[in-house]
Amino acid sequence: MFSKRRAMKSTESGLGKIEQLREKIENADAIVIGAGAGLSVSAGFTYTGERFRTYFQDFIDKYGFQDMYSGGFYPFETLQEQWAYWSRYIYINRYMDAPKPVYDRLFELVRDKDYFVLTTNVGCI
């Protein structure tokens, strides 16, 4: 199946929209930021791949986890093991800096504004 919509011929209109957004932010009295999983992913908070293997290889080896998310639902035999998993999960997804500077760049845009973040994410901004 093919889309009936035409793809953009260039990125010029996209760049124009970014400039419009920048102007609106500069002129706004207050800003509400709606953020979901896409913002976290763009900041590098991935739950699979290299990042997952770096921090959870022991759980991967023992339980065959494929991602961080599914490990959160595993029926561990002991509370110590459950909290070993969750404390690491919380530490790397909440207290470690994001792998990419997306949050920092967004904050730079709104730093001097009255802003509010509405998010479904735990570790957002």
Domain ranges of the chain: 31-119
Which helix (H) or strand (E) element contains residue 99?
A: none
Whether the per-residue pLDDT at 17 is higher than 70: the answer is: yes
Q: Where are the beta strands (DSSP E) in 16-64?
A: 30-35
pLDDT tens by residue, 20-74: 988 999 899 999 999 887 888 899 888 999 999 999 999 999 999 999 999 999 9
Q: What percent of the chain has a predicted confidence (pLDDT) above 90?
A: 55
Please report, for residues 2, 24, 62, 121, the alpha-carbon distance to residue 18 in angstroms, rounded to integers and kept in the order given. 28, 10, 46, 24
Q: How many angstroms separate the CA atoms of 4 and 111, rounded?
A: 41
What is the residue type of 24?
Answer: K
